[in-house]
Amino acid sequence: MIREFLRDEEGQSVLEYSLLLSLIGASMVVVLSLMGLSISRIFGVSDFTVGRYAEWAYDKFRSR
């Protein structure tokens, strides 16, 4: 019974897929963070945040 348990590889693929998905998720967080910094530097905004964008959008579209 113990030998069968040690030879069973069903759970191994689940573990491999979960590790792969967590690696992809972590790399996406890093890439998107760096991409956001690059885009804000292109437009010349060094302290660009979601709150400031929301204020800008609210002021821009409120006047219409």
The pLDDT of residue 19: 92
Total count of domains within the chain: 1
Give the pLDDT score at 47.
66
The reported pLDDT for the residue numbered 22 is 95
Q: What is the mean pLDDT of each run of 10 residues along the chain (64 residues)?
A: 72 82 93 76 68 80 72
Domain limits for position 51: 2-62
pTM above the 0.75 mark? no
- Does residue 50 contact residue 56 with C-beta atoms inside 8 Å? no
